[in-house]
Amino acid sequence: MSETRENRRSEILKAACIEFSENGYDSTKMEQIAKRAGIGKSTIYEYFPSKNELLKASCEWIFDTILYEVNDIMQKYICFKDKVINYIKYACDILNSIGSGMMILYGKSDSVQIIRSNASMFHMKLLDIIEKSVLEATKNGEIRENINPRNIAKIITFLPSPILCEEIRNNGDAALDDIISILIHGFAK
């Protein structure tokens, strides 16, 4: 695919993501996506044969972008605690940008199934990336060896939440630093 064509595809995906997030899948019209992307509706169909295919590609595009960014965070040559802090800040930025426009995932429609399927694959890949970093931290002596690395990855993955994001927004990194210290050092004396 040429660079121009790839750029156009990316613009369509960005526009679709915004429209799906703001209006929900069912209420979003291809005309709205085309208008936001600054193209004609027929141009979208040159790239995506249906609205469902556009949704699927949008999910893949978003999730691949996030996985790339998280992998970059976890590959940096910094201590594990800082990797976790950077991951949480990044995830909170995403949660804050989605805000109240987040699509509600219920029902059995094709759109919900497409999103759930992509989210499930995304979650497994995200766990793999974080688990790899946990294993490296264990080798470096930053985490004790008698804990299942996958379970640590699960805890880290689920730390970003609206409550924690608001705490960071209101109180800065100090609250996050304390939470990560508890995570890494545990509750025991």
Q: What is the pLDDT of residues 56-66, one digit of tens each?
A: 999 999 999 99
**85 and 11 inside one domain:** no
- By residue range, what is the domain housing residue 8? 1-49
Evaluate if residue 101 carries a pLDDT over 70: no
pLDDT tens, position by position, 47-94: 999 999 999 999 999 999 999 999 999 999 999 999 999 999 999 988
Digit-coded pLDDT (tens) for 32-41: 999 999 999 9
Q: Are residues 27 and 84 in the same domain?
A: no
Amino acid letter for position 109: S
Residues 131 and 167 in one domain: yes
Dmax over CA atoms of the chain, in Å, equals 65
The tens digit of pLDDT for each residue in 162-178 reads: 888 888 888 888 878 88
pLDDT per position as a tens digit, 136-162: 999 999 998 999 999 999 999 999 988
Instruction: Mark whether 136 and 153 lie in a shared domain.
Output: yes
Examine the domain organization and report whether 89 and 145 are in the same domain.
yes
Instruction: Give the model's confidence band at 118: pLDDT under 50 very low, under 70 low, under 90 confident, else very high.
Output: confident
Distances (CA, A) of 175 to 69, 82, 133, 159, 178: 23, 14, 23, 13, 5
For residue range 9-20, list pLDDT tens digits in order. Answer: 999 999 998 888
Q: Are residues 64 and 101 in the same domain?
A: yes
Task: Kindly report the CATH number assigned to the domain that includes residue 163.
Answer: 1.10.357.10
pLDDT at 99 (0 to 100): 53
**What CATH number is given to the structural domain containing 28?**
1.10.10.60
Q: What is the pLDDT of residue 111?
A: 76
38 and 82 co-located in one domain: no
Average confidence score pLDDT of the chain: 88
Answer yes or no: do 64 and 120 share one domain. Answer: yes
Residues 6+ apart with CB under 8 A from 53: none
Overall number of domains in the chain: 2
Q: Identify the domain boundary among 49, 68, 85.
A: 49
* 62 & 42 share domain: no
**Do residue 93 and residue 177 come from a single domain?**
yes
Q: Judge if 86 and 124 occupy the same domain.
A: yes
3/59 Cα distance (integer angstroms): 21
pLDDT given for residue 189 in this prediction: 66
Is residue 125 located within the same domain as residue 42?
A: no
